[in-house]
């Protein structure tokens, strides 16, 4: 839901309505904090929920204990994620990078302290996570509020409580858009768990999905960068510059994806040894490497197009597209290829990729290429005017001049 700030803050920054960025940030904090409260029952009643879903009692009970200890981290998300988007939209990525690096080292130390020295076990790991996430937030908050963002942070404002419903709608559309995609690949693992010889299939799929996740991090960077660049250019009224940024991002990301796709295919017999020495698992990974290569190729395009959508404010449209492609086309096709055609995990994954991700990528590509980017710039200008108020400093200067 915090990705709504990539649209609003990015376009406001491009339009030089810098003072609105802090107000958008505070609105996001309010909305996401309320959503955290709504999600509390899932954490509090994690054990009975997991038992209802068929999880073993031991795992369900331990998960329930850990979920309660993770509540502080749960609430930290509502404050840290918007803060990261707030800085990202102002091209202050290196700030979040260095803070993340320092906190990573700090997290390793306190994890060792709580888990091994104090012998708190898995609860200690949860406490370490709580502390690290909140430290990240307070460090970034100090950076923002102590003078390093003088134009975009002008202090806390009651204006943050206005237009909350409109903000909720855009945030919800952003959240649904991304959740439909993330959940899609989690369902792939769940479906694989119901196959015959599921342990072998899940082992091989886990290796492939881990490789995919590592490579996907590169393209998620393009997703974030494209969203910011497109929103900045549209906010500034430069529709053609936004279009050019989208083209460059797709081209660069696709070339990187092609390189890794070739790498995976070339070393398909060997990369599984990073994770296991089981010959059966290695053989299954080898069989699935071609589907992994196709997935990596799609990674080069799909996240970038999603970044264009976020930067342009198309989240609601993309949410419908994701619902249609992933859950109406992809999942049924994966079921048919996996069970009816008896292709196993390769069929499930192949059906979900070809029927879901590939179709979604094509639709987003057509949608992006056929847009009138000058009109998109006008829409961004209208959105900025609708969601923002004039800068009080500008009004004061104008009155003095008059």
- Could you report the per-residue pLDDT of 23-50, keeping only the tens digit for each? 999 999 999 999 999 999 999 999 999 8
- Same domain, yes or no: 158 and 178: no
Residue 167 lies in a domain: no
- Same domain, yes or no: 325 and 355: yes
Please give the pLDDT value at position 391: 64
The stretch 182-208 carries a mean pLDDT of 81
- Tell me the two tokens of residue 75: 């609430």
322 in Cβ contact with 177 (< 8 Å):
yes
- Same domain, yes or no: 51 and 82: yes
Lowest mean pLDDT among 22-31, 163-172, 385-394: 385-394
CB burial readout 185-196, b (16+ within 10 A) else e: bebbeebbeebe
DSSP 402: -
pLDDT digits 0-9 by tens, 216-232: 999 999 999 999 999 99
Domain end call among 162, 182, 210:
162
- Same domain, yes or no: 317 and 199: yes
Residue 213 lies in a domain: yes
- pLDDT of 390 over the 70 cut: no
Boundaries of domain holding 213: 174-389
Percentage of the chain beyond pLDDT 70 is 97
- Same domain, yes or no: 322 and 250: yes
Residue 93 lies in a domain: yes
- Same domain, yes or no: 237 and 296: yes
- Same domain, yes or no: 192 and 156: no
Tokens 């009816």 sit on residue: 340
Ordered DSSP codes for 272-292: GGGT---HHHHHHHHHHHHHH
- pLDDT of 197 over the 80 cut: no
278: confidence class by pLDDT, cuts 50, 70, 90? confident
Residue 397 lies in a domain: no
Please state, rounded to an integer, the average pLDDT across all residues of the chain.
Answer: 89
Lowest mean pLDDT among 52-66, 137-151, 180-194: 180-194
CB burial readout 330-360, b (16+ within 10 A) else e: bbebbbebbeeeebbbbbbbbbbbbbbbbbb
- pLDDT of 162 over the 50 cut: yes
The stretch 295-316 carries a mean pLDDT of 92
Residue 332 lies in a domain: yes
Cα-based angle 21, 37, 10 (whole degrees, multiple of 5):
15
- Same domain, yes or no: 229 and 143: no
- Same domain, yes or no: 196 and 297: yes
9: confidence class by pLDDT, cuts 50, 70, 90? very high
Residue 168 lies in a domain: no
Please give the pLDDT value at position 401: 34
242 in Cβ contact with 230 (< 8 Å):
yes
185: confidence class by pLDDT, cuts 50, 70, 90? confident
- Same domain, yes or no: 89 and 228: no
Domain end call among 110, 127, 162:
162
Cα 335 from chain centre: 26
- The dihedral over CA atoms of 184, 189, 195, 199, expressed in degrees to the nearest 10, equals 170
Please give the pLDDT value at position 107: 97
Domain end call among 162, 197, 226:
162
393: confidence class by pLDDT, cuts 50, 70, 90? low
- Same domain, yes or no: 115 and 253: no
d(CA 79, CA 7): 18
Residue 398 lies in a domain: no
- Same domain, yes or no: 218 and 344: yes
Please report how the helices 198-235 and 164-192 are oriented relative to each other, as an axis angle in degrees rounded to 10.
150
- pLDDT of 297 over the 90 cut: yes
Residue 241 lies in a domain: yes
The stretch 301-328 carries a mean pLDDT of 91
Query: How many domains, the chain?
Result: 2
Which pTM does this prediction carry?
0.85
């Amino acid at each position: 839901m915090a990705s709504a700030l990539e649209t609003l803050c990015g376009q406001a920054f491009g339009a030089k309505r810098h003072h609105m960025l802090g107000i958008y940030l505070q609105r996001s904090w309010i909305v996401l904090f309320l959503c955290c409260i709504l999600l509390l029952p899932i954490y509090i009643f994690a054990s009975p929920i997991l038992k209802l879903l068929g999880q073993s009692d031991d795992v369900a009970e331990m998960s329930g204990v850990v979920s309660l200890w993770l509540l502080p981290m749960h609430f930290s998300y509502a404050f840290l994620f918007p803060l990261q988007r707030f800085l990202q939209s102002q091209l202050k990525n290196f700030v979040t990078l260095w803070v993340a690096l320092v906190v990573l080292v700090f997290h390793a130390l306190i994890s060792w302290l709580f888990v091994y020295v104090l012998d708190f076990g898995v609860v200690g790991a949860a406490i370490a996570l709580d502390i690290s996430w909140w430290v990240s937030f307070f460090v970034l908050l100090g950076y923002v509020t102590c003078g390093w963002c003088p134009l975009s942070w002008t202090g806390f404002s009651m204006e943050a409580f206005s237009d909350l419903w409109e903000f909720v709608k855009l945030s919800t559309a952003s959240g649904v858009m991304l959740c439909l995609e993330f959940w899609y690949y989690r369902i792939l693992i769940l479906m694989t768990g119901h196959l015959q010889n599921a342990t072998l299939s899940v082992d091989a799929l886990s290796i492939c999905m881990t490789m995919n996740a590592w490579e996907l991090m590169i393209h998620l960077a393009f997703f974030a960068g494209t969203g910011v660049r497109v929103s900045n250019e549209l906010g500034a009224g430069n529709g053609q510059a936004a279009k050019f940024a989208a083209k460059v991002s797709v081209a660069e990301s696709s070339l990187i994806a092609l390189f890794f796709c070739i790498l995976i295919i070339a070393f398909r017999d060997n990369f599984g040894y990073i994770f296991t020495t089981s010959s059966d698992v290695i053989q299954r990974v080898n069989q699935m490497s071609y589907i992994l290569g196709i997935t990596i190729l799609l990674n080069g395009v799909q996240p970038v197009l999603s970044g264009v959508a976020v930067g342009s404010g198309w989240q609601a449209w993309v949410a419908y597209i994701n619902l249609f492609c992933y859950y109406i086309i992809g999942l049924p096709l994966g079921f048919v290829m996996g069970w009816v055609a008896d292709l196993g995990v390769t069929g499930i994954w192949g059906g979900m990729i070809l029927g879901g991700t590939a179709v979604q990528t094509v639709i987003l590509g057509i949608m992006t290429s056929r847009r009138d980017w000058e009109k998109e710039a006008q829409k961004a200008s209208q959105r900025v005017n609708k969601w923002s108020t004039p800068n009080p400093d500008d009004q004061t200067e104008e009155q003095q001049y008059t």
